[in-house]
Structure 1
Amino acid sequence: MSSILVTGADLAPQALALLDGYDMVYAGKTPTEESLIALCRAHNPVAIIVRYGGVGAAMMDAAPALKVISKHGSGTDTIDKVAAKERGIEVVAALGVNAAAVAEQTMALLLACAKSVVALDARMRAGHWDKATHKSLELGGRTVGLVGLGAIGLRFARMADAMGMRVIGFDPYARDLPEYVQGVALETLWRESDVISLHCPLTADNRGLLNAETLARCRRGVIVVNTARGGLIDEAALLAAVRSGQVMAAGLDSFAVEPMTAGHPFQGEPRIVLSPHIGGVTSDAYVNMGLGAARNVLQVLERAAAPAH
C-alpha cells in the first residue's frame, strides 16, 4: 500500500475518507527535519501533506517515490519549490480554503489595535476605569492599504468596505478588482494608509518588505496588521517604530521564527497584539484545508498514473 506522510499529528476525518486506500503516516505536532527525513526513508511516501515544518531537498531525496507535496493551506514558502521542480515533484496548495478564517482574524487584530481591547481589559482587571482618559480610534472613513489582493485580501477588503473604510491595495497579479478596492502603487499605499494589512505570500523579493525605510514613509500613527508571513516584516524595525509612535499599534499572527521564543521583545510591548499563527485555524478551515490538500494529492497522483498518449 502506498504511503502519504502528514507533517502533523492529524488530518480531518473528511480528508481521510478521501484518502482511504493509502497508508497514512503522521509526524506529530512539532516534527524536526531529522524525524521527517527518517519517516521518508522508512515509508517512501508518494505524497507529503505539509502542516508543520518545511520540506527541503534532503526529504525529497529520502522519498524516491514522492510525486506531490500538498500544502494544508495556502502558503508554500516552507517548501523548496526549486528542488521539487528539479526532481519532477509537483507542489500544490489549498488556495482560498481558509480565506474567511484569516480575514476574520485580520479584522479581530485590527479592532483590538484600534480599540485598545487588550490593554483596556488588563487595566480593568487591575481595578482601573479609564473612561475619562481613553479615546479609541474610529475606523470609518480611514484608509486601509492591503498588500496582496488574493482570496484573503479581497475577503478582508469587503469587510473593511462594509465598515465604511476606504480600501486601497497593491498586487501586481490582481485583475478585475471589485469597485470598492482601488489598485495603487506601493509608494502610494505607504503614503496614504491609516492601516496597512499584509496578505501576500513570502518570496525572496518581498522578504523584509516592511522595514525601517518603508515604515518611515508611512503616516505617523499607522496601524500594522500581519496575518500572512512573519518574514514580510523586519521585526526590529517594527518594534522601534511602535516605540517611537510612528506605528500606533500592530496586530501580528505570524513571526520570523515560529514558535516564538521566550523573551522575544514583542512580548513586553503592550501596543503589539499577538496571536500564535492561528488565523487559518478554525474548525471549518481545518476541514476545508484537509479536503483541499487531499483533493490536490489525488489529482496529481491520478494524473501521474494515467497512461501517456
Structure 2
Amino acid sequence: MSRVLVTGADLAPQAVELLAGHELVFAGKAPTEEDLVALCRAHDPVAIIVRYGKVGAAVMDAAPSLKVISKHGSGTDTIDKAAARARGIEVVAAVGANAAAVSEQALALLLACAKSVVALDARMHAGHWDKATHKSLELGGRTVGVVGLGAIGLRFARMADALGMRVLGFDPFANQLPAYVQRVELDAIWRESDAISLHCPLTEDNRGLVNAETLARCKRGLILVNTARGGLIDEAALLAALRSGQVAMAGLDSFAAEPMAPGHPFQGEPKLVLSPHIGGVTSDAYVNMGVAAARNLLDVLARQPAAA
C-alpha cells in the first residue's frame, strides 16, 4: 500500500476516508525539516499533505516515489515549487476551501481595530466606563484597499461593500471583477485607502510589500489588516508607523516568524490586535481543506502511472 505523509498530527475524518486506499503517516504538530526527511526516508510517500513545516528539496529527495505535494490550504509559500518542478512533482492547493473562514477573520480584525473592541473590553473589565471620552471609527463611506482578489479577497470585498465601504482592488491576475470592486494599481491603494487588507500569496516579488516607503504614501491614520502571510510586511517599519501615528491600528493574523517568539516587539503594543494565524482554523474549514487536499492529490495520482 502506498503511503501519504501528512505534515501535521491529524486530518479530518472525511479526508481520511477519501484516502482509505493509502497508508497515512502523521508527522506531528511541529515537524522540522529533519523530521520530514527522516519520515520520507523511512516511508517513501507518493504524496505529502502539507499542514505545518516547510517542504524543500531535501525532503523531496528523501522520497523517490513522491509525485504530488498537496497543500492543506491555499498558500504554497512553504513549498519549494521550483525544486518540485525540477523533480517532476506536482504542487496543488486547496484554493478557496478556507475562504469563508479567513475573510471573516479579516473582517473581525478590521472591525476590532475600527471599534476599539479589545481596548474597550479591557477597560470595562477593569471597571471603567469610557462613553464620554471614546469615539470609534465609522467604516461606512470610507475606502478599503484589497490587495489580492482571489476567493478570500473577493469574499472580504463583498462584506466590505455590504458595510457601505468603497472597495479598491489590486490583483494583476484577477479577471471579471464584480461591480463593487474598483480595479486600481497599487499606488492608488496606498494613496486613497482608509484601510488596507492583504489577501495575496507571498512571493519573492512582493516580500516586504508593506514597508516604510509604502506606508509613508498612505493616508495618516490607516488601518492595516493582514490575514495572508507575515512576510508581506516589514514588521519594524509597521511598528514605527504605529508609534508615529501614520498607522492608527493594525490587525494581524500572520507574522514573519511563527510561532511568535517571547519578547517580540509586537507584544504589548496597544495599537495592534493579534491572533495566532488562525484565520483559516474553523471546524468547517478544517474539513473543507482536508477534503480538498485529499481530492487534489488523488486527482494527480490518478493521472500518473503507478510506481514500478
TM range (shorter): over 0.9
Q: Distance in 1 between matches of 2:222 and 2:71?
A: 33
Identity of aligned residues (%): 81
Aligned to 2:105: 105
- The offset of 1:306, in angstroms, is 7.4
Structure 1 position 191 matched with structure 2 position 199: no
The SS at the match of 2:251 is: strand
Q: Distance in 1 between matches of 2:69 and 2:112?
A: 36
Aligned to 2:69: 69
Aligned to 2:215: 215
Aligned to 2:27: 27
Aligned to 1:132: 132
- The offset of 1:21, in angstroms, is 1.5
Structure 1 position 83 matched with structure 2 position 67: no
| Structure 1, gaps ≥5 residues long | none
- The offset of 1:126, in angstroms, is 1.2
Amino acid across the alignment from 2:80: D
| TM-score after normalising by structure 2 | 0.99
State the Cα deviation string for residues 115-145 of structure 1 (Å, max 9, x = none).
0000111111111111110000000000000
Q: Distance in 1 between matches of 2:32 and 2:202?
A: 22
State the Cα deviation string for residues 66-123 of structure 1 (Å, max 9, x = none).
0000000000000000000010000000000100100000000000000000011111
Structure 1 position 94 matched with structure 2 position 85: no
Q: Distance in 1 between matches of 2:9 and 2:288?
A: 17
Amino acid across the alignment from 1:173: F
Structure 1 position 234 matched with structure 2 position 234: yes
State the Cα deviation string for residues 196-235 of structure 1 (Å, max 9, x = none).
0000000000000000000000000000000000000000
Q: Distance in 1 between matches of 2:180 and 2:5?
A: 43
Query: Which aligned segments of 4 or more residues in structure 1 are displaced greater than 2 angstroms?
Result: none
Aligned to 2:278: 278
Amino acid across the alignment from 1:260: M
Amino acid across the alignment from 2:62: A
- The offset of 1:287, in angstroms, is 0.3
- The offset of 1:305, in angstroms, is 2.5
| Structure 2, gaps ≥5 residues long | none
State the Cα deviation string for residues 143-187 of structure 1 (Å, max 9, x = none).
000000110000000000000000001000111110000000100
Amino acid across the alignment from 2:32: T
Range with greater deviation from structure 2 (223-232 or 124-133): 124-133
Aligned to 2:265: 265
The SS at the match of 1:179 is: coil
Where do residues 154-165 of structure 1 align in structure 2 (5 Å cutoff)?
154-165=154-165
Range with greater deviation from structure 2 (118-127 or 6-15): 118-127
Amino acid across the alignment from 1:37: V
Q: Distance in 2 between matches of 1:280 and 1:35?
A: 25
Q: Distance in 2 between matches of 1:21 and 1:203?
A: 35
| TM-score after normalising by structure 1 | 0.98
Q: Distance in 2 between matches of 1:306 and 1:278?
A: 37
Aligned to 1:288: 288
Amino acid across the alignment from 2:54: G
